[in-house]
A and B are shown apart, each in its own frame.
Chain A
């Protein structure tokens, strides 16, 4: 028998009642369906207010969908048993000021229903792994933002969950913190875990994720592996040639449909996808023009993200 998917969202909608007497409705998420497979890292991308945090709150049982279903390992998320195998780090985690990191992690062990025996070693190990063991007896109100983020991740991972949900885990971290967090996320994958995280830091998403889901205005715009998403995204190949500026009409005559821009030493031609690059290069050599560089211009995740963020729902996206 195959194991149920770690996370499955099926036609999920979320509307909030707002305004005086709750008479108005704000739509946060519309018809969102998403599946996470075992042992993959999935990035949830979207501009501010896109519905990422709302989605993660539904996934963790903090709020409930207005329609649709959220299942963790085949169980509806509102069941206690469904959340046993999940660890969650909220965005900018808030803590009990009066607790020390050690007390907080002991509490997290209790909340995860872990037996008393072995909790001490588990807490110490996690504090060391996250690099905050030196501050274990300090009240958490004295922690820096990075240390709080580390304490939050420690609590999310203390019970060795199979599914880890991280809301903006890399925000507010210094470069060393980001490197450490990235390494921990990759370690989770190596250990066979499944990770879903939201982030604005696109290079990190590109480095870490097997798959990406882009949400804009509460709707899932695009979903797939980075290779799939960026595959059909090769744009112009930029060819830079040395050529006096007063001889630009030669290029205009030879390549009338190509984009052309002046550079310091000549021109840059934008050779569109579909044009035979070899033929273009050969012709340039025949014209005795020196080719300075040939640079294929692939679209990045950022291009795709920006294009989705700026387009209307249902509009064809051309990054």
Chain B
């Protein structure tokens, strides 16, 4: 039963890594990650901080851009180009198909993120800086972020066009990144009435993308930084569990929506 899913995973991975447009985007990503080196060079005694923050920030930014580029149109293209006619009539359920698509996209993104991270490590080595465990934790959080973002993109693409999928995915991503600020606004600007209660509940169930970019924010009374005090492994464990459960939930709902869709 796992073999049909793996077949879709492998095919989706090939589709992403053999796409020429992706290489153009990746080229610019590598170029920009390399600019971290430049910023580090011109900064005064802040090379380490600048390189870590700019490098990891750019990896996260390009991972998100690539996710949106690859994830929002992948189901639509299968239906539009009718290649799905060669898959759905086989020994694979539609839920397994979506899972395979998500797995393939994640695999491709993981390879790309790893490549960008290795470039960052080369720069760290080049500047004779000490690689921090925080950097590893930071990039692992990018993997988690990408996993959740791909699930959101697949969810919307299971029933809508790439443009709408793109807009909704970006919207959810932005809201997810601003969740603590939005909650703060709710608490300070609104009375404890029905609207606030509903809004709070709604924010609770939205994908929590803020979880993956803790650097520079207050966390339990301390300011997190890649160069001084970063999140614990326990935090990483909770972030992993949250990502796993949210991805599973989102993909199950997406599979439910996709299950009865006419692929005409």
Residues from chain B with Cβ under 8 Å of A110 in the complex? 3-4, 6-7, 10
Q: Is B249 an interface residue (CB 8 A)?
A: no
Q: Is B91 an interface residue (CB 8 A)?
A: yes
Residues from chain A with Cβ under 8 Å of B222 in the complex? none
Residues A204-261 near B (CB distance < 8 A)? none
Query: In the bound complex, how far is the Cα of B19 from the Cα of A306, in angstroms?
Result: 48
CB distance from A12 to the nearest CB of B (A): 14
CB–CB B90/A83 < 8 A: yes
CB–CB B91/A113 < 8 A: yes
Q: Which of A60, A103, A107, A113 contacts B89 (CB 8 A)?
A: A60
Tell me whether A107 and B7 are in contact in the complex, defined as CB-CB below 8 angstroms, given that A63-B263, A98-B18, A113-B91 are known contacts. yes
Q: Which of A60, A63, A81, A115 contacts B264 (CB 8 A)?
A: A63
Q: Is A111 an interface residue (CB 8 A)?
A: yes
Q: Is B191 an interface residue (CB 8 A)?
A: no
CB distance from A153 to the nearest CB of B (A): 12
Q: Is B65 an interface residue (CB 8 A)?
A: no
CB–CB B260/A64 < 8 A: yes
Q: Is B201 an interface residue (CB 8 A)?
A: no
Residues from chain A with Cβ under 8 Å of B88 in the complex? 60-62
Residues from chain A with Cβ under 8 Å of B14 in the complex? 96, 98-99, 103
CB–CB A112/B90 < 8 A: yes
Tell me whether A64 and B10 are in contact in the complex, defined as CB-CB below 8 angstroms, given that A110-B4, A112-B90, A112-B91 are known contacts. no
Q: Is B81 an interface residue (CB 8 A)?
A: yes
Q: Which of B10, B83, B90 contacts A95 (CB 8 A)?
A: B83
CB distance from A64 to the nearest CB of B (A): 6
Q: Is A172 an interface residue (CB 8 A)?
A: no
CB–CB A96/B11 < 8 A: yes
Query: In the bound complex, how far is the Cα of B87 from the Cα of A73, in angstroms?
Result: 20
Query: In the bound complex, how far is the Cα of B260 from the Cα of A98, in angstroms?
Result: 29
CB–CB B1/A155 < 8 A: no
Most buried by A among B3, B259, B260: B3
CB–CB B82/A90 < 8 A: yes
A51-64, CB under 8 A of B: which get 1 and which 0? Answer: 00010010011111
Q: Which of B11, B86, B96, B262 contacts A63 (CB 8 A)?
A: B262
Report the interface size for chain A: residues with CB under 8 A from the other chain: 36
Residues from chain B with Cβ under 8 Å of A88 in the complex? 85, 89-90
Q: Which of B18, B85, B92, B96 contacts A93 (CB 8 A)?
A: B85
Most buried by B among A63, A81, A108, A113: A113
CB–CB B93/A111 < 8 A: no
CB–CB A94/B81 < 8 A: yes
Q: Which of B3, B8, B81, B82 contacts A114 (CB 8 A)?
A: B3
Q: Is A170 an interface residue (CB 8 A)?
A: no
Q: Is B132 an interface residue (CB 8 A)?
A: no
Query: In the bound complex, how far is the Cα of B1 from the Cα of A69, in angstroms?
Result: 26
Residues from chain B with Cβ under 8 Å of A64 in the complex? 260, 262
CB–CB B1/A113 < 8 A: yes
CB–CB A111/B264 < 8 A: no
Residues from chain B with Cβ under 8 Å of A96 in the complex? 11, 14-15, 83
Residues B9-27 near A (CB distance < 8 A)? 10-11, 14-15, 18-19
Residues from chain A with Cβ under 8 Å of B87 in the complex? 111
Query: In the bound complex, how far is the Cα of B18 from the Cα of A115, in angstroms?
Result: 26
Excluding A81-B91, A112-B90, 15 further A-B contacts by CB distance (< 8 Å) are A54-B264, A57-B264, A61-B89, A64-B262, A78-B259, A90-B86, A93-B85, A98-B14, A107-B10, A108-B90, A110-B7, A110-B10, A111-B7, A111-B91, A115-B3
Q: Mind listing 24 A-B residue pairs with CB under 8 Å?
A: A54-B264, A57-B264, A60-B85, A60-B89, A62-B89, A62-B263, A62-B264, A80-B91, A80-B92, A80-B93, A83-B90, A86-B89, A90-B82, A94-B82, A95-B83, A98-B15, A108-B86, A110-B10, A111-B8, A111-B92, A113-B1, A113-B3, A113-B4, A113-B91
